[in-house]
Amino acid sequence: MPAAAPAPSQDVKRKAAREVIDILHEIATLLNTRLDRQQLSYCVSLIENGANPEALANVIRQLREEYAVEYVSGEDVGAR
Amino acid sequence: MAQNARLAALTDELIHSILKFDPHTNKQAYKHAKDIASKGLRAHQYARTNQFDVQSSFTGLEEKFRVLNRDDLADALDVRVKEINQRRGKWIPEFLSLLLQLSDRPTENSDVGALELLRPPSPPPELTWKQILEEDPYSDEEIWKDIDYGGESSEDEFFKKKQKGKGTRATSVEEDDTYDPEACVVLVDVEVMKELEESQFWTYELRDEEEKVEITELQAVRETLFMLAGLQSSLYLNDKQSNSIRVNHKYVFGHAMQKTADHLLAQLADIGRALYRLRQWIKRPSSLPLVQTFEAAVQKRLDEYDRMLANLQHLYLVPKAPISVSLLELHDQIRTGSRPILRLAQLVEDIEPQLLVNPFVHLETLFDQISLAQMTLEKDVFDFLSCVFFECLQTYLKPIRRWMESGELGLNDETFFVFENDSSSEVSSLWHDRFVLRRGQENALRSPTFLQPAAHKIFNTGKSLVFLKELGIYGAGLNSSEPEPRLDHETVCGISSEMPLSPFPELFQAAFQTWISTKYSFASTVLREHLFSECGLMRVLGHFKTLYLSANGSIFQDFADAIFKRMDEGQRGWNDRFLLTELARGIFTPALNRTHADKIVVRSVRSKARNQFVKGLGNVYIDYALPWPIMNIIQRSAIPIYQQISTFLLQTYRIKYLVQRVSPRSIQAIGNTRLRQLSYRLRQRLIWFTDILRSYLSEAVIDLSTEDMIVAMKKADDIDEMASIHMKYVARLQDQALLSENLKPIHKAIIQILDLGVTFAVAHSSRAMPTRTSATRPALSSRAVSSSKTSKFSKSSRRKSVIPAIVEDDSSDSDSDDEEADEGAGSKAPAASSSEESVEVLEKEFGRLLPFVTAGLKSVGRVSAEPAWEMLAERWGWEERKGARSFG
């Protein structure tokens, strides 16, 4: 990968990354994805490490389906 | 493998956060979840993310939001997508595609407001020393001062605290600490002010006379509308002296030539001038109610016009649709809209000077203008003026209505054309004298011209009501029950949008006649019925005929005979009126009833002369007492004519009576053959003459005319008609009975012939019985003997004696005539031998007079086309036709 610029300082990088996350979070809210910031950051990391977005989306959906009750009501449904 | 380890760790974390429960509590569930995750993530059959697809998806999504009316969402998304695209990042399309796939019905569920919650709260600003020092300075000088233990009260403290906290202020007496007057001052926007001042073009100061100020068309439009509404404006100047409006040439348009603009403005100024004058006229009050109504109507129209101008202004001020500012168009609109009111203004200007003199000239002028507008097919002007006209008419109708419904007049009402002439006049002349029509110059009726055809009916209605009031039968129940028809534009001209086809004067007359007839017919019918039934008009006329015109011949003959007997008896008191009245009443009772016969009064005039009986006839007058309603119809002036005719009839009766007394046997006893023959002849001729005269009078004159009169009288509608019928009847009687002025010579001649009869009778009786005492002899001869003067027998004397006292110019001769008559009669008495000559003289006289009479009658009859006279002349002239043969 060509180096675009001399390595920016860690602060700047971190700031840029944070901004990206911010924007993504906003878009996620707009699109009603129901991902909170934490989940989104994990997704981002997973994708950066090579996960396929479509697959990830499916997994999240599946998990939500199976354990959606907890998510909605916050109760502990142990039997599932 | 580090990759995988990392992946696994991250997956764990993700699962943890999604599932939200402690892995230790439910190991199995957790394990299951882990399996799912790892299985899913490991799959490789997914394609690489196409970033262009992602972008197009986002664009499509945005469009979808916009279409579904979620503009806020679309905008927010758009902003953020743009922002993120500015970033460089390898994985950004992947992130975006992930989010796309996880999106769950954003149109319904997303809430843009939720974005606000995402922003972390801004941290409080850091506290700096500066801030702390501001609030709490290091030192406070006040601390080191001495305390004034007793001086300060808590109020002052409070005051001081306030002052410290609020900062500097202009006044220190402000009590209300919550209200800051400075907050009321709105800062002025300087730009707007400048614009406003620039648009006030009239405040420009000009350096010299020639310079012009430019104005825009919109400003000109506004100025025009103000001027037309009667307000001050700068573009048009009000000139009070000449009462006109001029265009102010100081202002020009930037986009048009001055001449064209001036021309247009001048036309608008003309319209404005007329309106200005109209407004000035309205301001002057008037005292007459008619003119006040007119002014009110004009004011109303001006108000409507102002409203129209306001609507035009509204168009320019608050345009609903884009409108072009055009002075030309405004001019056009104003011209069409002002047409009716300009016509009205013109009308007012024309009649203004005449309004004081003639208070209804505006009604007449409006009437004419309406007809004109109808003929020129100007419907708007027609409707406009017609409405104004009918409004003003209502005021004028008020006195008319009052007069026609109750016969009352307002005091000093100068504008109404009925006017009480003589309020104390007798009831017998109530109809004709008490009220008159007010007339102005040239004897024209003082009312609007269009009401004049109906004026008489109105007049008569009121008079009938007054009449009924006097009769005492006016009261409740006399008012007609139908409602009064309305007289206004809709009822007269119709509501259709087309112009009425009939001319306006006709429509108005028809409507007005209807209006009047609702009031008129009732009163007059009641009155007529009353006159015929209660007062017995026909009966009275019949009585008159009996009394004066010998309707019942035998009764009249009785009456005549009675009078003659009294005359011939020669007593001095023969024409004493009480005795004569008793006599008349007694005689006429069978014909009239007792009660009515009592109304007869006979009066006689004491003449200066000694009692000649032929003269005496003319001095006896029969009167009949009439009830006062009838006296309005049969007026006093008609009675003498009746009396004349009655006298004439009596005269013919008299001659017949006298001549018949000369019996044929007494003529036979005359020795002189010639005399005998002459006497026979004369007697026969005289009798024939008087018979024809009497038959002419009773049949041809009286009967025919009376029949016509009775028929016409029964059909008459109101008192005016009845009175005029009667007048005509009496005049006709007088005419045909040869008693009118232009037939005086003929009448004189006839009387002369009658006098011949008197002379003959007298002569004969005196000749036949010369030794008779004065008691039996006719009174005339006894008088004649005592006379000493001699005179010849002149016709003038005889003539005067028998004509009734109506003929005044003869009265001067009465004295001398008396003596002459005496002598004339007396001259016969002494000489019996001259009797033959005298009879011959009489014959000659007769022969001279009769052709004169017939010729006269014929010529007069031909000239005035009166066939009756010709017939009379024919009857008298049979001798001539046969060829007069003279005896002897």
B142: which 2 tokens? 């006040």
Vertex B269, ends B310 and B202: CA angle to 5°? 75
Q: Which of A52, A60, A66 has the CB atom closest to B102's CB atom?
A: A60
Distance CA B297, CA B677 (A): 95
For residue B101, the chain A residue with the least C-alpha distance is A57
**pLDDT tens for each residue of A39-72:** 888 888 888 888 888 888 888 888 888 776 544 4
Asked if residue B543 and residue B529 are part of one domain, the reply reads no
What's the mean pLDDT in B71-93?
85
- Of B761, B774, B734, B770, the C-alpha closest to B839 is B761
What's the mean pLDDT in B76-101?
86
Confidence class for position A35, pLDDT limits 50, 70, 90: confident
- Of B104, B95, B101, B103, the C-alpha closest to B51 is B95
Reply yes or no on whether the pLDDT at B307 is more than 90: yes
Asked if residue B723 and residue B853 are part of one domain, the reply reads yes
- In a domain? residue B150: no
Is B94's CB within 8 Å of A53's CB? yes
Is B33's CB within 8 Å of A25's CB? no
- In a domain? residue B188: no
Nearest CA to CA, how far is A13 from chain B (Å)?
12
Reply yes or no on whether the pLDDT at A78 is more than 50: no
For residue A26, the chain B residue with the least C-alpha distance is B115
Please, which residues bridge with residue B214 across strands? Answer: B252
Q: Which of A36, A44, A74 has the CB atom closest to B95's CB atom?
A: A44
H helices then E strands: how many in chain A? 3, 0
Residues of B in contact with A25 (CB under 8 A): 118
What's the mean pLDDT in B327-346?
89
Residues of A in contact with B96 (CB under 8 A): 27
Task: Give the 3-state secondary structure of B144-156.
Answer: HCCCCCCCCCHHH
| Largest separation between any pair of C-alpha atoms in chain B | 205
Nearest CA to CA, how far is B52 from chain A (Å)?
16
State residue B117's pLDDT score: 63
Higher pLDDT, B480 or B730: B730
Vertex B527, ends B526 and B531: CA angle to 5°? 120
Inform me whether the C-beta atom of residue B83 falls under 8 Å from chain A C-beta atoms: yes
Give the domain extent around B297.
210-357
What's the mean pLDDT in B606-627?
64
Reply yes or no on whether the pLDDT at B478 is more than 60: no
Kindly provide the b/e burial profile for residues B430-450, where b requires at least 16 CB atoms within 10 angstroms of the residue's own CB.
bbbebbebbeeeeeebbbbeb
Asked if residue B552 and residue B466 are part of one domain, the reply reads no
What's the mean pLDDT in B586-599?
78
Reply yes or no on whether the pLDDT at B818 is more than 50: no
Inform me whether the C-beta atom of residue A17 falls under 8 Å from chain B C-beta atoms: no
Choose the weakest-confidence range: B128-137, B510-519, B609-618, B745-754. Answer: B609-618
Reply yes or no on whether the pLDDT at B176 is more than 60: no
Give the best-scoring range by mean pLDDT among B57-71, B769-783, B789-803. B57-71
Inform me whether the C-beta atom of residue B104 falls under 8 Å from chain A C-beta atoms: yes
Is A63's CB within 8 Å of B19's CB? yes
State residue B173's pLDDT score: 56
Asked if residue B743 and residue B614 are part of one domain, the reply reads yes
Q: Which of B20, B46, B99 has the CB atom closest to A28's CB atom?
A: B99
| Alpha-carbon separation of residue B708 from A11, B540, B565, B715 (angstroms) | 140, 16, 36, 11
Q: Which of A1, A12, A24, A29 to mutate to test the interface with B (most CBs of B within 10 A)?
A: A29
Is B106's CB within 8 Å of A64's CB? no
Please, which residues bridge with residue B623 across strands? Answer: B601
Interface of B with A in 109-138 (CB under 8 A): 109-110, 112, 114-115, 118
Last residue of a domain, one of B104, B129, B149: B104
Reply yes or no on whether the pLDDT at B154 is more than 70: no
Reply yes or no on whether the pLDDT at B791 is more than 60: no
Is B21's CB within 8 Å of A76's CB? yes
Residues of A in contact with B4 (CB under 8 A): none
Confidence class for position B820, pLDDT limits 50, 70, 90: very low
Confidence class for position B792, pLDDT limits 50, 70, 90: very low
Is A44's CB within 8 Å of B91's CB? yes
Domain ranges of chain A: 16-66
State residue B300's pLDDT score: 92
Residues of B in contact with A76 (CB under 8 A): 21, 25
Asked if residue B544 and residue B498 are part of one domain, the reply reads no
Reply yes or no on whether the pLDDT at B303 is more than 90: yes
Inform me whether the C-beta atom of residue B100 falls under 8 Å from chain A C-beta atoms: yes
Distance CA B239, CA B870 (A): 82
Inform me whether the C-beta atom of residue A47 falls under 8 Å from chain B C-beta atoms: yes
- In a domain? residue B583: yes
Residues of B in contact with A80 (CB under 8 A): 29
Residues of A in contact with B54 (CB under 8 A): none
Residues of A in contact with B104 (CB under 8 A): 31-34
Please, which residues bridge with residue B436 across strands? Answer: B419
Q: Which of B17, B61, B99 to mutate to test the interface with A (most CBs of A within 10 A)?
A: B99
Reply yes or no on whether the pLDDT at B607 is more than 60: no
**pLDDT tens for each residue of B765-786:** 777 655 444 334 444 443 333 3
Choose the weakest-confidence range: A20-34, B402-416, B529-543. Answer: B402-416
Tell me chain B's radius of gyration from C-alpha atoms: 60
Please, which residues bridge with residue B420 across strands? Answer: B435
State residue B698's pLDDT score: 86
What's the mean pLDDT in B592-615?
64
Choose the weakest-confidence range: B334-348, B541-555, B609-623, B812-826. Answer: B812-826
Is A59's CB within 8 Å of B37's CB? yes
- Of B39, B56, B64, B63, the C-alpha closest to B93 is B56
Listing DSSP states for B371-437 in one string gives HHHHHTT-HHHHHHHHHHHHHHHHHHHHHHHHHHHH----TT-TTSSEEE--TT--GGGIIIIIEEE
Asked if residue B493 and residue B632 are part of one domain, the reply reads no
Query: Is the four-CA dihedral B585, B589, B592, B593 of positive or negative sign?
Result: positive
- Total tally of structural domains belonging to chain B: 5
Confidence class for position B172, pLDDT limits 50, 70, 90: low
Residues of B in contact with A30 (CB under 8 A): 73, 76-77, 80, 106, 110, 112, 115
Q: Which of B30, B82, B88, B102 to mutate to test the interface with A (most CBs of A within 10 A)?
A: B102
For residue B26, the chain A residue with the least C-alpha distance is A78
Higher pLDDT, B174 or B407: B407
State residue B45's pLDDT score: 67
Reply yes or no on whether the pLDDT at B805 is more than 60: no
Distance CA B2, CA A48 (A): 14
Reply yes or no on whether the pLDDT at A74 is more than 70: no
Asked if residue B579 and residue B468 are part of one domain, the reply reads no
State residue B304's pLDDT score: 92
Q: What SS3 state is found at B367?
A: helix
CB contact set of B647 (below 8 Å; sequence gap of 6+): B617, B618, B620, B804
Residues of B in contact with A66 (CB under 8 A): 32-33, 36
Confidence class for position B654, pLDDT limits 50, 70, 90: confident
Q: Round the average pLDDT of chain B to a whole number and report it.
A: 76
What's the mean pLDDT in A3-9?
57
Choose the weakest-confidence range: B182-186, B477-481, B644-648. Answer: B477-481
Nearest CA to CA, how far is A7 from chain B (Å)?
14
Nearest CA to CA, how far is B127 from chain A (Å)?
25
Inform me whether the C-beta atom of residue A63 falls under 8 Å from chain B C-beta atoms: yes
Inform me whether the C-beta atom of residue A41 falls under 8 Å from chain B C-beta atoms: no
Reply yes or no on whether the pLDDT at B469 is more than 70: yes
State residue B783's pLDDT score: 39
Distance CA B234, CA B245 (A): 11
Is B41's CB within 8 Å of A52's CB? yes
How much is the pTM? 0.55
- In a domain? residue B194: no
Inform me whether the C-beta atom of residue B103 falls under 8 Å from chain A C-beta atoms: yes
**pLDDT tens for each residue of B661-713:** 877 777 777 777 888 888 888 888 888 888 888 888 888 888 888 889 889 88
Is B20's CB within 8 Å of A70's CB? yes
Is B36's CB within 8 Å of A59's CB? yes
Higher pLDDT, B773 or B169: B169
Asked if residue B549 and residue B519 are part of one domain, the reply reads no
What's the mean pLDDT in B798-819?
40
Residues of B in contact with A49 (CB under 8 A): 3, 6-7, 10
Vertex B367, ends B366 and B373: CA angle to 5°? 85
Share of chain B above pLDDT 90, in %: 2
Nearest CA to CA, how far is B115 from chain A (Å)?
7
State residue B402's pLDDT score: 81
**pLDDT tens for each residue of B237-268:** 887 777 777 888 778 887 888 888 888 888 98
Residues of A in contact with B11 (CB under 8 A): 46
Higher pLDDT, B213 or B825: B213
Asked if residue B740 and residue B860 are part of one domain, the reply reads yes
Asked if residue B393 and residue B495 are part of one domain, the reply reads yes
Inform me whether the C-beta atom of residue B149 falls under 8 Å from chain A C-beta atoms: no
- In a domain? residue B702: yes
What's the mean pLDDT in B172-198?
72
Q: Which of B3, B37, B47 has the CB atom closest to A50's CB atom?
A: B3
Inform me whether the C-beta atom of residue B10 falls under 8 Å from chain A C-beta atoms: yes
Asked if residue B545 and residue B457 are part of one domain, the reply reads no
- The one-letter amino acid at A11: D
How far, in whole angstroms, is CA B666 from its chain's centroid?
81
State residue B819's pLDDT score: 37
- In a domain? residue B189: no
Query: Is the four-CA dihedral B59, B60, B66, B72 of positive or negative sign?
Result: negative
**pLDDT tens for each residue of B547-562:** 888 888 888 888 888 8
Asked if residue B506 and residue B590 are part of one domain, the reply reads no
B854: which 2 tokens? 């017939």
